[in-house]
A = this chain, B = another copy of it.
């Protein structure tokens, strides 16, 4: 890991961090424990609360990420852009349990933000660093993890002043919404109802 963030990497205030995933994008879950780094994709991640901001994410028992998240008590949700669609499918299909070099094979590079140890995935457009709020029953029964967002960042080319702004940016920076069988939708046209906030 290097500590060199992407040039457009900017902090997002915690009270606005829910907006990074409020539109339901597919995410990458990154984690590290005892020197091991892993990344998996997850369509089943969701905001849970505004303040303090919380998220839910489903992490299957069969994944290597599960062990790292349970070991470290932390994970990041990284929001991939359309340019990372193949990477996103790849790290969601292959497991580090069977393919220990899966990050290298799928071209996944990570970096860390100043003051935070969690690996963040390069090329994403938003990142939420989370600490696990232990809920053993949810984890055991539903593979459901609750995290409190402790820091967030976004690529200011597409998220600034607390809002996504895809329409003036290149399409490869739009976020992704996975369906099944390798099919994604990109985040589409903006629709404003009423006067805005």
Specify which chain B residues have a CB less than 8 angstroms from the CB of A51 in the assembled complex: none
Q: How many protomers of this protein does the assembly include?
A: 2
Of chain B, the residue at the smallest CB distance from A87 is B193
Q: Give me 10 A-to-B residue pairs in the complex whose CB atoms sit less than 8 angstroms apart, sorted by A's number.
A: A24-B24, A47-B58, A48-B142, A56-B56, A82-B191, A89-B193, A177-B187, A181-B197, A184-B190, A188-B188
Of chain B, the residue at the smallest CB distance from A180 is B19
A46 at interface, CB cutoff 8 A: yes
Q: Let me know if B180 and A163 touch, CB within 8 A.
A: yes
A111 at interface, CB cutoff 8 A: no
Specify which chain B residues have a CB less than 8 angstroms from the CB of A45 in the assembled complex: 46
Other than the known A24-B24, A46-B46, what 6 A-B pairs have Cβ atoms closer than 8 Å? A43-B47, A44-B48, A56-B144, A82-B191, A163-B181, A183-B193
A23 at interface, CB cutoff 8 A: yes
Q: Let me know if B189 and A188 touch, CB within 8 A.
A: yes
Q: How far is the CB of A166 from chain B (nearest CB, A)?
A: 7
Q: How far is the CB of A172 from chain B (nearest CB, A)?
A: 10
Q: Let me know if B192 and A182 touch, CB within 8 A.
A: yes
Of chain B, the residue at the smallest CB distance from A57 is B46
How far apart sit A118 and B193, CA to CA, in the bound complex (Å)? 28
* Interface size of A as a range: 35 or more
Give the contacts of A68-85 with B (CB-CB under 8 A).
Answer: 82, 85
Specify which chain B residues have a CB less than 8 angstroms from the CB of A182 in the assembled complex: 192-197
Q: How far is the CB of A126 from chain B (nearest CB, A)?
A: 12
A25 at interface, CB cutoff 8 A: yes
Q: Which 4 A-B pairs have the closest CB atoms?
A: A24-B24, A188-B188, A181-B197, A23-B177
Contact with B along A130-162 (1 / 0, CB 8 A): 000000011000111010000000000000001
Q: Let me know if A48 and B43 touch, CB within 8 A.
A: no
Give the contacts of A2-55 with B (CB-CB under 8 A).
Answer: 19, 22-26, 43-49, 54
